[in-house]
């Protein structure tokens, strides 16, 4: 299970880097990779956090000895990690309500951390070490996502096309304004034309 988690996490990281530099098909790859990791945590968080091998996740005996509280806690943390990833995806894709998703994820992580610390001090169970590591990693990612200005990713990706950046921001801030929508389409076409010219000249 941990190997699957690492592979999915690494693919999501590579996809995010490629997307920042606007490589072809990087947006689609980012959606698929983060989406898969989010689904993984949502549906397989319980066996993952309880160190149950993938080949045994459908065996009833694998869950014997796991308390109801730990079962619920693993489920809740898996959902929290999933929500946090969706918030990061929204941020990178410049979709609306990204910060709301991140705040929800951060709130869930804080609650999970508090409960995990309380249970660890009470039982000194090694189970919570894996919980602490994942919470720490995701807190760094989520806080980083919240700290990044709303249009920082857009400005980084299209730094060579300020006209498109400005038109995108205007359209996003005034979604019902037809003039801004038309202007965005014009600037987008200009940007694509400039990209084609650069690509042709490089060849």
pLDDT at 82: 96
**Closest listed residue to residue 153, CA positions, set 86, 98, 85:** 98
End-to-end CA distance of the chain: 45
Mean pLDDT for the stretch of residues 77-104: 94
Cα 41 to Cα 81: distance, rounded to the nearest angstrom: 7
**pLDDT over 90 at 125, yes or no:** no
**Closest listed residue to residue 184, CA positions, set 161, 173, 168, 162:** 168
**pLDDT over 70 at 202, yes or no:** no
**pLDDT over 80 at 66, yes or no:** yes
**pLDDT over 70 at 93, yes or no:** yes
Name which residue leads in pLDDT, 96 or 88. 88
pLDDT at 126: 80
Name which residue leads in pLDDT, 66 or 199. 66
The pTM of the full predicted model, rounded to 2 decimals, is 0.89
Share of residues in the chain with pLDDT > 90 (%)? 73
Q: Kindly report the average pLDDT of the chain as a whole number.
A: 92
Name which residue leads in pLDDT, 45 or 198. 45
pLDDT at 119: 87
Cα 189 to Cα 193: distance, rounded to the nearest angstrom: 6
Name which residue leads in pLDDT, 200 or 176. 176
pLDDT at 187: 95
Q: Which residues of 141-151 are buried (b: 16+ CB within 10 A; e: fewer)?
A: bbeebeebeee
pLDDT at 145: 95
């Amino acid at each position: 299970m941990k190997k699957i988690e690492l592979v999915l996490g690494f693919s999501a990281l590579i996809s995010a880097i490629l997307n920042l530099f606007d490589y072809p098909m990087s947006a689609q790859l980012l959606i698929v990779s983060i989406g898969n990791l989010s689904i993984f945590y949502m549906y397989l968080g319980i066996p993952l956090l309880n160190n149950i091998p993938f080949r045994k996740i459908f065996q009833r005996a694998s869950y014997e000895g796991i308390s109801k509280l730990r079962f619920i806690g693993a489920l809740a943390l898996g959902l929290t990690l999933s929500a946090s990833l969706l918030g990061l995806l929204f941020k990178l894709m410049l979709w609306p309500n990204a910060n709301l998703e991140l705040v929800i994820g951060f709130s869930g992580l804080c609650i999970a951390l508090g409960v995990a610390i309380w249970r660890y001090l009470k039982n000194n169970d090694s189970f919570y070490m894996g919980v602490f590591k994942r919470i720490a990693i995701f807190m760094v990612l989520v806080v980083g996502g919240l700290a990044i200005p709303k249009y920082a990713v857009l400005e980084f990706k299209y730094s060579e096309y300020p006209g498109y950046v400005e038109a995108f921001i205007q359209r996003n801030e005034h979604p019902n304004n037809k003039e801004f929508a038309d202007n965005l389409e014009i600037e987008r076409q200009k940007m694509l034309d400039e990209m084609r010219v650069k690509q042709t000249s490089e060849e």
